[in-house]
């Protein structure tokens, strides 16, 4: 739970009388919760290919689909603009969205599906890029915990390829993901088979039958990831250093998983971890590179020990383990998913964190470079980049620094560890094979960075 006293105060009756701006309480996912808390408005511009599939998805989830906004509040607005290619089409996008966003409910969802840029048609490329600017701005305008995001869909992607991503961005699982642009390509691996895409999926436990290893799992975001993946059906292998053994055992016991005490920077770690997964679990489906440390210092005062320690844990260990997974085809199973925890600091930078920012930016570079290699194995690799997340570490910050971190985003509050975990869970699904080499910020659309 967040210890955001200002948010709590802003929602009290006295705050309304004093005119204190309200910080929204976000709708977050709970098992058994409906996909949406109200009706969805679904439309299309031009020759959109996905509106019918999205409508069917909402209805299959027990929701109601509207053709036009009425007097009631709308839980989600979905516009299929994959057919938009002209300035006139952009005018149609505006005409659809303007009356719709006026009716958007608290914690509502604005989701656009857009085309990939056309390198041969300047107007079509401009329109595709314009949708990004529109969505990022809309994310700063919608109120009461609502979010706006864009899925850029490859021209040859089938409707089933967007299913898991549409579900995630419409659901309460994406409460702190705002102003993001995610590309969806033709799924890699087994999901390329349309029959496989149509196989029944347990919507309550979408990770059932999958083995997930989480590094840095003893506390904080890592523990939340382990808890969330276990809740969604995964068998957990919790990894952390021997010094965290007691806390690590608690996480493993709580999730019904196993604990592996391992320093991922050790010379033999990249060999020991795959061997353990292969011998004890028959392989692994999801690998979450979460382990990370900070050793903050201004660059002018940075010493080699602080620099090297951070790069070793946050980047070099991930590189070695990923190389080992690629080298041994007995470890990473079909529809394997690698999820690396980066940081907003790696995108926007942060004073006193040149070592940390370098390591987290390096994670992004690694993900983009390895995406084609993992795709050859039928697997994906992606990164999540948290912004200000309410943890024990941020709770120890000076009050002014903590408040600034909370308020400089469109949702005007810090995220929770579970927000990062929900995003990891979505990227870990077998269905999410069309998302590869992507970086998804979990930051409430922070104004820092892109």
In three-state secondary structure terms, 307 is helix
Going by the DSSP 8-state scheme, the letter that residue 72 receives in this structure is S
- Contact 226/205 with Cβ under 8 angstroms? no
Going by the DSSP 8-state scheme, the letter that residue 431 receives in this structure is T
Q: Each residue of 361-390: b (16+ CB within 10 Å) or e?
A: bbbbebbbebbeebbebbbbbbbbbbbbbb
Two structure tokens written together for 410? 């469109």
Two structure tokens written together for 394? 């941020």
Two structure tokens written together for 372? 């084609």
Q: Considering only CA atoms, which of 73, 72, 55, 77 is closest in space to residue 64?
A: 55
The catalytic site residues sit at 356
Query: β-strands 258-261, 235-240: how paired?
Result: parallel
Residues paired with 439 in a beta bridge:
383
Query: β-strands 74-80, 40-44: how paired?
Result: parallel
Q: What is the DSSP string of 393-443?
A: HHHTS-HHHHHHHHHSBTT-S-B-HHHHHHHHHHHTSTT-TT--S-EEEES
Phi, psi for 115 (deg, rounded to 5): -85, 155
Q: What is the DSSP string of 99-133?
A: HHHHTEEEEEEEEEEEEPP-TT-HHHHHHHHHHHH
Q: Considering only CA atoms, which of 172, 150, 175 is closest in space to residue 50?
A: 150
Q: Considering only CA atoms, which of 149, 138, 142 is closest in space to residue 111?
A: 149
- Contact 283/211 with Cβ under 8 angstroms? yes
In three-state secondary structure terms, 292 is coil
């Amino acid at each position: 739970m967040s210890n955001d006293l200002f948010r709590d105060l802003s929602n009290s009756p006295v705050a309304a009388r004093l005119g204190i701006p309200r910080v929204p309480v976000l709708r977050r996912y709970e098992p058994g919760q409906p996909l949406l808390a109200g009706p969805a408005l679904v439309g299309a511009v031009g020759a959109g290919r996905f509106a019918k599939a999205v409508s069917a998805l909402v209805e299959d989830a027990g929701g109601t689909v509207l053709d036009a906004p009425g007097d009631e509040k709308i839980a989600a607005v979905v516009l299929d603009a994959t057919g938009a290619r002209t300035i006139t089409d952009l005018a149609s996008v505006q005409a659809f969205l303007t009356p719709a966003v006026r009716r958007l409910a608290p914690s509502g969802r604005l989701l656009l599906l857009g085309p990939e840029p056309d390198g041969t048609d300047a107007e079509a490329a401009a329109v595709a890029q314009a949708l990004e600017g529109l969505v990022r701005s809309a994310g700063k305008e919608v109120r009461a915990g609502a979010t706006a995001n864009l899925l850029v869909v490859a021209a040859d992607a089938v409707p089933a390829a967007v299913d898991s991503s549409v579900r995630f961005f419409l659901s309460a699982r994406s409460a702190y993901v705002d102003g993001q642009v995610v590309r969806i390509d033709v799924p890699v691996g087994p999901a390329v088979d349309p029959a496989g895409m149509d196989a029944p999926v347990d919507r309550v436990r979408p990770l059932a039958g999958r083995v997930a290893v989480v590094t840095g799992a003893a506390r904080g975001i890592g523990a939340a990831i382990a808890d969330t993946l276990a809740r969604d059906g995964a068998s957990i292998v919790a990894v952390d250093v021997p010094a965290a053994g007691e806390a690590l055992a608690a996480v493993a016991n709580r999730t019904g998983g196993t604990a592996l005490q391992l320093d991922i920077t050790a010379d033999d770690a990249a060999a020991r971890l795959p061997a353990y997964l292969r011998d004890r679990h028959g392989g692994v489906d999801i690998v979450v590179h979460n382990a990370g440390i900070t050793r903050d210092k201004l660059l002018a005062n940075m010493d080699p020990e602080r620099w090297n320690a951070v790069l070793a844990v946050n980047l070099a260990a991930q590189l070695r383990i990923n190389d080992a997974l690629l080298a041994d085809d007995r470890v990473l199973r079909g529809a394997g998913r690698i999820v690396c925890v980066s940081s907003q600091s790696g995108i926007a930078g942060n004073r006193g964190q040149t070592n940390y920012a370098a390591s987290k930016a390096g994670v992004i570079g690694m993900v983009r470079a390895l995406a084609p290699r993992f795709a050859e194995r039928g697997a994906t690799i992606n990164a999540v980049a948290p912004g200000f997340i309410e943890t024990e570490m941020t709770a120890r910050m000076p009050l002014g620094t903590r408040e600034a971190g909370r308020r400089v985003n469109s949702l005007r509050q810090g995220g929770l560890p579970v927000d990062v975990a929900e995003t990891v869970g979505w990227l870990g699904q077998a269905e999410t094979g069309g998302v590869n080499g992507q970086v998804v910020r979990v930051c409430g659309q922070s104004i820092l960075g892109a």
